[in-house]
Structures are given as C-alpha cells and as structure tokens.
A and B are shown apart, each in its own frame.
Chain A
C-alpha cells in the first residue's frame, strides 16, 4: 500500500566516507504508509542507505528529502527526531537498565513515562526492566530498540537487518509487529538479506549493489 505523499525522495544520492563511496548514486522514492525491503549482498550499501535516511551520515552530492526535510540544507536534528532508527549494533547505554534507558529517552523527547510499561510488554521485556543493556542478548537489545520505537511512533521506521540475531519465534513476533506498524500508516524501510516471510506483508523490494539501486519490483 503506498500513499500519494512522498516520504523519501532521493535523486542521484552519493555518500562518501573516508574517500570511499558508500552510495554511488541512489534514486529512490517512497510514499507514505509503504513497506520497503532493501536487499543486497554484504557491502552493497544497505546500512549506508538507511543511515542516510536517518540523517546519521551526510549527503555528499545529489539531492535527498526525507520526511519533508532536505538532507543537504535542512535541520538534521529535526529529521532524526521524526524518523525511527533500529541499528544492528544495539541501542542506548550499556550500563543503564532497560527501564533507565527508556526513561531517559522518554524524558528527552517529553513522552509520558507511563508508555514504557506497555511497550516493554509488547516486545516481551517486561520482566527485564532492571537488567542492564550489556547483560541483554543481541536479540533482546533489538527488542529494547523496538520498544523505544513503539513509544515514539515515528512516521518513518528504518530497521537495519532486524532479523539478524532473532530466532524463529523472534522473527514471527517481528513480522506481527511490522503488520501493526504498517497498518498504523507509518512508512517502514527494512534492510535484510532475505525476503520477509510473512504472507500478511507485501513489501516493495529494492535490490542494491555497488551503492546504487539495480532492481525494484514496484
């Protein structure tokens, strides 16, 4: 399902870091309320693309507008507040507990702290509130990041290889969550090596190689 309003518009987007072109000219348009899977081999530029959309790396050349913000000239801090990012490195502070991390984040964005409990229940971490992040498994850290996104409900979700480190029940839980998120009208971009398994999800799939889009089943 794709909305008429464009939430992502990239034209020949190039990102260079340390002299290496991470993205070598990406053209991409995404409508509001869409689900898009970005696939490709290791080093194709999947993470770099998502980080560009999240405002976590700078655009070197080309044009890019995400959630109405021009990445070349706009306020990237505003962009980062409007999109939701889930990386594969884990989230927040290792020495703080699950509850402390989410309380910090909620207070930073002036979200009600009472929303933390239901979010933790949804992701299955309600019994881990006092566990520090470094004591969580990789999959549990991913769930912590998801809990935060559930509290924030951003208009664009950027999920970098969310299926890595998840077992079968974890993948099933994640697919159910994605169905709910897409149904709520948010746009979701997921990077993955494989296709999404759930029949309830009918994503658009784009293939990256050499830092640009080489396949799009739109």
Chain B
C-alpha cells in the first residue's frame, strides 16, 4: 500500500514543474542581456544539478552501501542501477538544453569547454555502467562490479565541479550564488529557479521509484523462470 508521501510525490512534482514552466515562460521578465534566452536557465541548471549531484549522488551512496557488508543487499543495488539509468537521461537533457542555450550565445552547438566536456564524459561513464550491467548475468557479480564502477565514476564529479573554477573557459561561473554566497538572481526569477530545482529533484525521485518498481517486477519474473529451471534440472536426475 502506498504511503502518503508516495501518493503525493507525483502530483506535487507535476505541480512544481507546471509552475516552473508557467512562470519561466510567461511570468518572469526577459534578461537585459540574454533576452528570452534566459528562460532556458529555469531548466538547464536544475537538470544539471539532478544529473550530476542528485542522481549520481544517489547511485554513489547506494553503491557504497552495497559494498559495505552490513548494508549489502540487492535492494541498494537496484537503487544504484535505477539511479544511474535515470541519471543517464538527465545527463543527456543537460547536454541538449546546454547546447540549445549555447548555440545563440556562443555561436556553436558544442564547445570544448571543461564543464561541457566533463558532463559528456560522465554521460559516457553512465552508459559504460549500463554496458557493464548487461555483461554479467550473475546478480551478485553484477552488483559488485557495478558498485565499484560507480565509486570510480564518482571521482569524476568533483572534477566537473571544480572545472569551471580551474579552467575558466566559455562556460559561465556559478549561476545562482556569488563567491561570497550572496544570491545573484532576484525576484520572480529567484522563485522560479527555486521551483525548478525542487520540481526536477522530485521528478528524479518519482522516476526512480517508477523504475525501481519495474525492476522488481522484472526480477520477479526472472525468479519464476529460475524456479522452473530448478524443477527442470531436478527432473534430469529422476529420469
């Protein structure tokens, strides 16, 4: 039976995303420099935040829990797997929305900027994880290797975070806060940005939950298949 939180997750997410799009497209004013292009910033940073930190962070924590014997279970392995799948989608959306913003701003769809490049690398790492999952049928081996791979990939995330500071190339610096931690964005823009971060973060957990339930259903079907395989194997001895 679903808890209240589980029942509210979907509707609250939809409301927040709806408000984000509504405010972002019609309520907030255009930027004095970027014009209407600024409206992409109500989507892109939030998606990037989910891609790099929330989803990959969830996968990393779940993988670390799997590697620690006390908390090792196929539940946390499933969470890690589903989180990386959803992360892959968000990474792709980060690059797509970033390209759409970059084309009129920088004149090109793709620039060899450190943050763009690092995000693309993280995306390929996520695809590598999915390839690794498919290479092994044994659940325990698959889970262990996947967990170690996620931990290794997580090393890349700090490099992405510091890349803007260290390389200072085309990509803009921190979007929301100045170096002194004061808010750069004000008024309706700030509220819309906050709604977008909340909305996309909740959408990650909503998608994660849906994907997790699908994975449990898939494994149940495989377990039933295994029971049949065991029965067939035992019957070999009876012949």
Contacts and interface: CB of A to CB of B under 8 A. Distances in A.
Nearest to A58: B140
B225 interface: yes
B179 interface: no
B226 A21 contact: yes
Interface in A142-176: none
B140 A21 contact: no
A13 to B, nearest CB: 12
Nearest to A215: B237
Interface string B196-239: 00000000000000000000000000100110011001111111
A211 B233 CA distance: 7
A19 B237 contact: no
A19 B138 CA distance: 7
Contacts of B238: 210
A195 B154 CA distance: 56
Contacts of A16: 226, 229
A16 B230 CA distance: 9
B229 A210 contact: no
25 contacts: A14-B230, A16-B226, A16-B229, A17-B138, A18-B137, A19-B222, A19-B225, A19-B226, A20-B233, A21-B226, A21-B229, A21-B233, A24-B233, A24-B234, A25-B230, A25-B234, A58-B138, A58-B140, A208-B237, A210-B233, A210-B234, A210-B236, A211-B233, A211-B237, A214-B237
Contacts of B234: 24-25, 210-212
Is chain A's binding surface mostly helix, strand, loop or mixed? strand
Contact of B230 (A18, A24, A58, A214): A24
Interface of B: 137-138, 140, 222, 225-226, 229-230, 233-239
A14 B234 CA distance: 11
A211 B235 CA distance: 10
Contacts of A17: 137-138
Interface residues of A, number: 16
Contacts of A24: 230, 233-234, 237
A211 B230 CA distance: 9
A45 to B, nearest CB: 9
Nearest to B136: A18
A21 B234 CA distance: 9
A209 interface: yes
A208 B236 CA distance: 10
Contacts of B138: 17-18, 58
Interface string A166-200: 00000000000000000000000000000000000
A181 B234 CA distance: 34
A209 B236 CA distance: 7
Residue of B225, B226, B236, B237 ringed by the most chain A CB atoms within 10 A: B237
A17 B138 CA distance: 6
A72 to B, nearest CB: 11
A16 B141 CA distance: 12
Contacts of B222: 19
Nearest to A57: B138
Contacts of A210: 233-239
A20 B222 CA distance: 11
Nearest to A207: B237
A21 B238 CA distance: 16
Contacts of B237: 24, 208-212, 214
Interface string A5-39: 00000000010111111001100000000000000
A25 B226 CA distance: 13
Nearest to A24: B233
A25 B235 CA distance: 12
